Chain A
């Protein structure tokens, strides 16, 4: 690499300074890039429509088990409807849960823990399970 540098001393240096300057200037003038591309939290959306249902910042755990595979535990979910409460016997014991639906396309995405009956499971109350197969994320 050092040899490459010495080879192109004169003309080369100018080129590279220009490239570097352009790079720095682009950093300054980022305001030309539309805001929607750059700013914003990482969002999970419904797999069936484009509704945004959860923030990556709200993920508590990625190793839960849903009805059909892996699921994530979220502290909050948005743009969802919560269905009627029912008692279910899950792997971790008896819970009162309510199914959670995408508010636009009504796809079942997971459930919300309404009540837990064992002390060790109480931390789940009020939190949401969204199944991995039902949510997608835009990777920017």
Chain B
């Protein structure tokens, strides 16, 4: 029956609320809030998360939000995100009139709320008043994230602590808060599990010790970085009070073995440990190997003094280790990695980044002893040779992701063994491995039928025949062949015909790519969302028009340094794609008409610095 509403009259509020709570995407929530006033009110009750970027007058804004969304449990405020709302995006013939009246209304509104003009310019970022408003308005708050809110001080945190006692997760990254704030949080928020103090430069031991003493029992995760006045003393307090600590991330020159030893001995449930502390040595790592037997993830970053001895003791003790990251640890060698491989056979993720003493032998033992490996990343490992990956291919049947950057000794042989042995491979990223050529990639195309993500950047020996094989065998959704300058139309055409699920494509810096490939892409890949055509000298407006004719889902297009394209091409892209969100192009290549119609979508490259 037209004009008659059945659902709204039959269902009570609570039921509709339950239904709305089960909607999973934000778009669905937004759509449901536009149905009618009742649903708008109920939808507001069902929202549990708010994300706020840097906006003008955030304090008032928060009060406004608190009145509307009363059931919010998580608030994320990130002052790094700047949102500039262009009134130009309002389209239509009566635009001029709308614009001027909108401005007049805004002035009217601000005049009402803030009678004295001086206040108008100051609170462009969240202040203590705003934080107090958050605390007052969202009393059921469980998660709060304040990222780089530079005007927030201890005072705001104190009022937050006193009012939001159910707080479970607090992220103060980059906020200049002091010890008193942290102390009050410790006294009042007894359910605090997650605490992130990265770049909180004014914190000292006093605050952290106080917090650890008061609410240490519930604390599960702690992160500290670039805090010059947090020393071993704090870690000793954490070690003695935070028995349930599972995750610890430390980036500091002021922490030494004493602190880590205290943690190792005091927190036996530790699962994740990330260290970037140049003054910590093997002694600490050995203590971790002896006491933290539940350790699942270990990450060691940047020029630390650890040697194979430390790794050996980890291999002996932490049998549950699943994830290991070794980044720029120049004293670690093959023996250490061997010890980890033979000791921690449950290893699933391994990343070796710039550790110049780790070579083929270390990786070989990983291939032999860690059958459950699913992800392997080797960055800047010039010494690792083909044989290492042969072993990995033989032993790690479940490998799903392989990342290789700047491994100049790895060639076709290695990639062939991986392809033949790891048939479940889903992601393969190779960058600047100059010995890898078509042969290896053909093997991938022939054997890895689950591959959805392929990236071959600046591997200049790869040719069209490789892409033809990949097009035939791999259901790609993401392809990046930037800089592989032997690839031309033939290869991309094969991909266009063979991979209809392709969503993201990067063919930048390909000198031989022409319009034909774009035309085929337009026909073969209707789901294409993101495309990068920068630095392709042979493509023209014709190719672009063929591409966008059928790729209606296109959301982003990068087309800088394409001398064959003109303002007409830009206009075609902007007008043909209803979902377009970003077009990167040179400013002088955009006609004034396109600028007017689509300025919110255009992103300019500054070549004239």
Contacts and interface: CB of A to CB of B under 8 A. Distances in A.
A135 B607 CA distance: 7
Nearest to B405: A103
Interface stretch (B96-104, B114-122, B282-290): B96-104
Interface residues of A, number: 42
B53 A103 contact: no
A32 B26 contact: yes
Contacts of B30: 29, 32
B609 A38 contact: no
B64 A20 contact: no
Contact of B108 (A5, A37, A39, A105): A5
Interface in B536-588: 555, 558, 560-561, 581-582, 584, 587
Given A1-B100, A50-B482, A137-B606, A31 B105 contact: no
Nearest to B586: A136
Interface in B39-98: 50-53, 55, 61, 64-65, 78, 80-83, 85, 90, 98
A49 B80 CA distance: 27
Interface string B2-44: 0000000000000000000000001100100000000000000
A90 interface: no
Contacts, number: 118
A119 interface: no
B532 A50 contact: yes
Given A48-B509, A49-B535, A138-B584, A104 B64 contact: no
Interface in B503-542: 508-509, 532, 534-535
A26 B104 CA distance: 20
Contact of A38 (B81, B101, B561): B81
Given A27-B61, A38-B81, A48-B535, A4 B104 contact: yes
Interface in A45-59: 47-50
A24 interface: yes
Contact of B51 (A30, A104, A137): A30
A78 interface: no
B483 interface: yes
A8 B101 CA distance: 9
A30 B78 CA distance: 11
B254 interface: no
A30 B98 CA distance: 23
Given A30-B51, A31-B26, A103 B108 contact: no
A12 interface: yes
Number of contact residues on B: which range applies? Answer: 35 or more
A60 to B, nearest CB: 15
A104 B52 contact: no
A30 B509 contact: no
B483 A49 contact: yes
B432 interface: yes
Given A32-B26, A50-B508, A138-B605, A27 B81 contact: no
Given A12-B101, A20-B102, A37-B581, A49 B482 contact: yes
B153 interface: no
A129 to B, nearest CB: 14
B436 to A, nearest CB: 15
Nearest to A138: B605
Contact of B604 (A1, A39, A104, A139): A139
B603 A140 contact: yes
A78 B584 CA distance: 22
Contacts of A94: none
A135 B609 contact: yes
A132 B609 contact: yes
Contact of A31 (B51, B61, B98, B101): B51
Contacts of B431: 104
Interface in A1-15: 1-2, 4-5, 8, 12-13
A34 B65 CA distance: 23
A28 B51 CA distance: 6
Nearest to A38: B81
A23 interface: yes
A103 B80 CA distance: 29
A111 B74 CA distance: 48
B457 interface: yes
Contacts of A140: 603
Question: Nearest 5 CB-CB pairs, A to B?
Answer: A31-B51, A16-B105, A137-B606, A38-B81, A49-B509
Given A5-B101, A34-B555, 5 more contacts: A1-B104, A5-B108, A23-B85, A27-B53, A49-B535
Interface of A: 1-2, 4-5, 8, 12-13, 16-17, 19-20, 23-24, 26-34, 37-39, 47-50, 62, 70, 72, 103-105, 132, 135-140
6 contacts: A29-B30, A30-B51, A38-B81, A50-B535, A135-B609, A136-B607
Interface of B: 26-27, 30, 50-53, 55, 61, 64-65, 78, 80-83, 85, 90, 98, 100-102, 104-106, 108-109, 406, 431-432, 457-458, 482-483, 508-509, 532, 534-535, 555, 558, 560-561, 581-582, 584, 587, 603-607, 609
